[in-house]
């Protein structure tokens, strides 16, 4: 039986790794829809390579270029947010949600409201709208598969165990490119310095989040929602080799852990397999003797204040994670554009969290409310940067 897979964010880093696996297992999968942001040529290339039925470009102006690039292929296409929603909601056995940022929330949620099985890479949608998102998944009978490497390792480490029997879930962080750098050196870092990730090759936004350790903060919030586990039982540890991705500590002291080489195709294959194990051609086997040593250290929340801010947002709950995520997206974009410095990211995010604490005390009641808060925080953050 062939399974139909749709890929949202098909031209990105996760999208390309997913496409590689779909291509390696053509006997198993057919591709329903692919969606991308602005690059019509890249989207047409992946749509043709995978022989997709439908391609959607989010940029409303991108339609003509996409149509030209797909001419003669027989692949239907559309442009603008409604076309992306169509890509998300077409019949599929599995939808891979790999858009970057809160831009992924609407399409991912649309797939969930169709009761689809969704492999979730797009952690920002859970941070932006966590409770509402999970309620929708339950209400519409959607199944969520964690594609983020740490959460996929958690899922594999939990196995058939009970969440109640878990005393601690630990996710690891590589520590990013500034793990051993002084505060002065970090303060002077450019986006290019911050994007030079030691172990993973990823999209620009998550690269910067990894350098600030905001990525780990987003992931703690992601784990809280995905596994229904409270903040007190969650933590993060720095592990520079990126081999152990997560550890689960059980009531009796036993620890199960998820290990693999830092190649996103491993967790992606786990999701695509839907219970079967897929082989990965050109995959590198884990060789612990060659790795030599696995080391662990506590994250430094002085040099990486974003992790502290994210933990505080998780602990206070309400709309704080929604606010934090929106301000962080604006701050990271400004840092990439060279408009602000590295520590201005944390400063803006913290100001936004304080500013909106009284205005938005409660967690958004539904995804639409989360998007409205997200939009208002973005406007405020832009204005704060311009002031």
The reply on whether position 118 binds ligand NAD by CB under 6 A is: no
Q: What is the DSSP string of 340-387?
A: S-HHHHHHHHHHHHHHHTTTS-SPPSSHHHHHHHHHHHHHHHHHHHH-
The least CB distance from residue 251 to ligand NAD, in Å, is 29
Which residues, other chains included, contact 70 with Cβ-Cβ below 8 Å and sequence gap of 6+? 44, 47, 48, 55, 77
Does 15 help bind ligand NAD (rule: CB under 6 A)?
Answer: yes
Applying CB under 5 A, which part among 55-63, 149-157, 258-266, 330-338 lies near Mg ion?
Answer: 149-157
Site string for ligand NAD, 328-367 (x = CB under 6 A): ----------------------------------------
Which of Mg ion, ligand NAD, none has residue 11 at its interface (CB below 5 to 8 Å by kind)? Answer: ligand NAD
By beta-carbon distance, which residue lies closest to ligand NAD?
A: 12
- Among residues 260, 258, 265, which one has the least CA distance to residue 285? 260
CA distance linking residue 99 with residue 35, whole number of Å: 9
100 is in an annotated binding site: no
Dihedral sign computed on CA atoms, order 248, 253, 256, 259 = positive
Give min distance, CB of 264 to ligand NAD, in A.
5
Of residues 311-330, those binding ligand NAD (CB under 6 A): none
Collect all residues with Cβ–Cβ distance below 8 Å to 258 and sequence separation of at least 6.
152, 153, 154, 156, 157, 244, 245, 246, 247
Region binding ligand NAD by CB under 6 A among candidate stretches 96-104, 182-190, 271-279, 312-320: 96-104
Which uninterrupted H or E stretch holds 101?
A: none
Q: Which does 58 bind (CB under 5 to 8 A by kind): Mg ion, ligand NAD, none?
A: ligand NAD
Footprint of ligand NAD on residues 250-289 (CB under 6 A)? 264
At 10, is the secondary structure helix, strand, or coil?
Answer: coil
Q: Residue 278 Cβ, how far from Mg ion at the closest point, in Å? A: 20
Cβ pair 285, 337 in contact under 8 A: no
Q: Which stretch binds Mg ion (CB under 5 A): 64-72, 91-99, 148-156, 348-356?
A: 148-156
CB of 287 to ligand NAD, least distance (A): 21
By the rule CB under 6 A, 176 interacts with ligand NAD: no
| Counts of helices then strands in the chain (DSSP H, E) | 17, 11
Helix 320-336 / helix 123-139 crossing angle, nearest 10 deg: 150
> Closest CB to ligand NAD among 200 and 250?
200
Question: Which residue's CB comes closest to Mg ion?
Answer: 148
> Can you tell me the distance from the alpha carbon of 355 to that of 340, in angstroms, rounded to the nearest whole number?
20
For Mg ion, give the closer residue by CB, 149 or 325: 149
Is 197 one of the annotated binding-site residues? Answer: yes
- Identified binder of ligand NAD from the candidate list 18, 24, 33, 36, rule CB under 6 A: 36
The neighbour count for residue 359, using CB atoms within 10 Å, is: 12
Closest distance between ligand NAD and the C-beta of residue 215, in Å? 7
Q: What angle do CA 244, 225, 151 make, to 5 degrees?
A: 20
Give the C-alpha distances (Å, rounded to integers) separating 158 from 53, 76, 257.
36, 41, 9
User: How many residues belong to the site for ligand NAD (CB under 6 A)?
Assistant: 29
Closest CA to 128 of 312, 360, 351, 320: 320
Is 203 a binding residue for ligand NAD by CB under 6 A? The answer is yes
- Which of 3, 200, 378, 385: binder of ligand NAD (CB under 6 A)? 200
Contact footprint for Mg ion (CB under 5 A): 148-150
Contact footprint for ligand NAD (CB under 6 A): 8-15, 35-37, 58, 84, 98-100, 103, 121-124, 148-149, 200, 202-203, 205-206, 264
Q: Binding site membership for Mn(2+): which residues?
A: 148, 150, 219
Q: Binding site membership: which residues?
A: 11-14, 37-38, 122-124, 148-150, 174, 197, 203, 210, 215-216, 219
């Amino acid at each position: 039986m062939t399974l139909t897979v749709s890929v949202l964010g098909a031209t990105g880093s996760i999208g390309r790794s997913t496409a590689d696996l779909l291509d390696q297992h053509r006997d198993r999968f057919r591709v329903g829809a692919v969606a991308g942001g602005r690059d019509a040529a890249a989207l047409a290339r992946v749509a043709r390579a995978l022989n997709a039925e439908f391609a959607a470009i989010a940029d409303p102006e991108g339609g003509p270029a996409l149509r030209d690039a797909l001419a003669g292929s027989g692949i239907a296409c559309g442009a603008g947010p409604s076309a992306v929603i169509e890509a998300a909601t077409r019949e599929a056995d599995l939808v891979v949600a790999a858009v970057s940022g809160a831009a992924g929330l609407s399409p991912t949620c649309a797939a969930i409201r169709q009761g689809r099985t969704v492999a979730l890479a797009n952690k920002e949608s859970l941070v932006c709208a966590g409770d509402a998102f999970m309620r929708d998944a339950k209400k519409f009978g959607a199944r969520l598969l964690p594609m983020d490497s740490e959460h996929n390792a958690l899922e594999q480490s939990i196995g058939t165990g009970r969440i109640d029997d878990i005393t601690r879930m630990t996710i690891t962080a590589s520590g990013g490119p500034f793990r051993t750098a002084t505060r002065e050196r970090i303060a002077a870092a450019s986006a290019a310095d911050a994007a030079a990730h030691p172990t993973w090759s990823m999209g620009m936004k998550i690269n910067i989040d990894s350098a600030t350790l905001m990525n780990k903060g987003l992931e703690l919030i992601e784990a809280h929602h995905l596994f229904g586990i409270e903040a007190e039982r969650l933590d993060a540890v720095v592990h520079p080799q990126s081999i152990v991705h997560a550890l689960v500590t059980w009531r009796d002291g036993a620890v199960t852990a998820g290990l693999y080489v830092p190649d996103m195709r491993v967790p992606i294959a786990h999701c695509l397999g839907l219970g079967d194990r897929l082989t990965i051609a050109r995959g590198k086997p884990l060789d612990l003797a060659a790795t030599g040593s696995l080391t662990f250290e506590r994250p430094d929340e002085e040099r990486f204040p974003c992790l502290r801010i994210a933990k505080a947002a998780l602990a206070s709950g309400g709309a704080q994670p929604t606010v934090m995520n929106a301000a962080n997206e604006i701050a990271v974009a400004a840092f990439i554009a060279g408009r602000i410095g590295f520590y201005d990211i944390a400063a803006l995010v913290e100001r936004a969290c304080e500013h909106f604490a009284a205005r938005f005390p409660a967690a958004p009641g539904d995804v639409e409310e989360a998007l409205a808060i997200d939009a208002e925080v973005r406007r405020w953050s832009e204005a704060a940067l311009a002031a």
